[in-house]
Amino acid sequence: MYLPTRLQRGLAEYLRVFRLFSPNVRSVMVYAVFEGLVFGVFQLIFNFYVLSLGGYDNSFIGNLVSASSFASLLVAVPAAFVAGKFPARSILIVSGIVSALSLFGVVVLPYRAALIALNILSGLAVSFRQVALFPFLMSNTGEGERQYVFSFQFGLGLVAQFAGNMLGGSLPLWLGGLILVEATSAAAYQMAIGSMSFVALAAVIPLLFIQRNVAKGQETPPLPWRKLPKYAGQIAKLLASPFAIGLGAGLMVPFMNIYFRNVYNKSDATIGLVVGVSVLGMGIAQFIAPPMAKSIGKINTVMLTQGLSIPFLILLGVGGYIVPAGLGSREIWFAVAAFAFFMRLSLMNLSGPVYQTFILERVEREAMALTTSLFGMSFTIGWFISPSISGWLQDTYAPFGFVPVFTITSITYVVGTFLLWLFFRNAEKAVPPDVGTSDGALAGAK
């Protein structure tokens, strides 16, 4: 009777907290569903689409990821300045439209320079969206529901991403069949990505319902340039771990679909199933995160889940040596890799919104936009540097190119988790500054 009782209490708590969500927050939740669906399809098939065009290799794919990350880095601080000047609603709408246009662009302009430029454009949109979104959520939540809002928003997006991954595995087959082309042809991938550009445009609609009337004193203030040295040391500690994690993630994450195809010789549909189920597990994990953080603390949740993910990361990479060397069954090791991928993804990402909340609760309101921008920047640096290196490693050391990729990633994850312990193991004994609203939710925010 104990477990069902705990489950019932947990569901009751979620329902209680959900009622505190403001209309603005609920609009963002709907937006997250659309955005997650689009990203799930795009994440699965974009690399395959680029390779199907001919003349491009894994190194070029790494360069595309780096181009997007470079754009995010370039506008990180300017985006924080813009967030202090314009309503979050406007920034989110414009960035959503730009994302849709960049998706459509990669379909109609499949040329080297255009693909790089469009990935840069996409990176700009992502950077502005993130800088506007998280301070917006902070301003529209109180302490009681804040962690639930951050995790719920991320979790809903991931569940939708699962649907996108599943859809992405079959969409080229269905749409390619309409024009009598192979599912792995460039034309089939173009139709699939093109259809998602219209879904991305539809994602903007719920953002139009965000209320712009802001309670006095709750809007995001302009960037306090003269006070930046005041926050430098604190922010540097908060961002050290994401920087290390980003270095490793940029080596591995953008290439997981290629890893499953090249090492285990799996179809798009099978890869979509593996990635989709894993993303669904990660989404479900987000709903575990708030009560877990409440029970053992935010930083303990982050350290525990990140640390537990590392053995599964190592196990995931073992097949990259075993299978090409002919030392084990491809099917058995594929099953092992799929399970390890599921566990690593769920554990490593469970704590993402928890750490985001932890960070923003430890800076004053006037530094939120800047901190959010630098948080994205610290992680994005790795995604700017690492993908090109990873693509080169894969092409140079084929068929064992993924072995150094997973090895380096494991090391960076260990370092990132250690930095959390070093800087914040006693952090939650101190009371964080009051950065939320007192009554739970505002009627409107920028």
What are the start-end ranges of the H helices in 228-297? 228-252, 256-264, 268-296
Which of 325, 331, 308 lies closest to 403, judged by CA? 325
Q: Which of 291, 289, 290, 317 is nearest to 305 (CA)?
A: 289
3-state secondary structure of 145: coil
Is residue 40 within 8 Å of 163, Cβ to Cβ? yes
- Give the C-alpha separation, 286 to 277, whole Å: 14
What residues does 437 pair with on adjacent strands?
Answer: 142
Domain 18-429, CATH among 1.20.1250.20, 1.10.3720.10, 3.40.50.300, 2.40.50.140: 1.20.1250.20
- Digit-by-digit pLDDT tens for the chain (446 residues) are 444 565 566 667 667 777 777 888 889 989 989 999 999 899 888 888 998 888 888 788 888 887 887 887 778 778 777 877 788 889 999 999 999 999 999 999 989 999 999 988 988 888 888 888 877 887 887 777 777 888 788 888 888 888 888 888 888 889 888 888 888 888 999 999 999 999 999 999 999 998 864 443 344 455 555 556 766 777 788 889 999 999 999 999 888 988 998 899 998 888 888 988 888 888 888 878 888 888 888 899 999 999 999 999 999 999 989 999 889 899 999 999 999 999 999 999 888 888 888 887 777 776 777 777 778 778 778 877 888 899 899 988 988 989 999 999 999 999 999 999 999 888 776 544 444 433 333 223 33
**Whole-structure pTM over 0.95, yes or no?**
no
Q: Could you check whether the bond before residue 324 is cis, i.e. omega within 30 degrees of 0?
A: no
SS3 content of the chain, % helix, strand, coil (to 5): 80, 0, 20
Answer yes or no: are the C-beta atoms of 313 and 340 closer than 8 Å.
yes
Residues 6 or more apart whose CB falls under 8 angstroms from that of 421 comprise 303
Complete DSSP assignment for 353-408: HHHHHHHHTTS-GGGHHHHHHHHHHHHHHHHHHHHHHHHHHHHHSTTSTHHHHHHH
**Closest residue by Cα to residue 255 from 57, 68, 25:** 57
What kind and span of H or E run contains 67? Answer: helix 58-74
Q: Determine the pLDDT at residue 336.
A: 95
CB 17 within 8 A of CB 148: yes
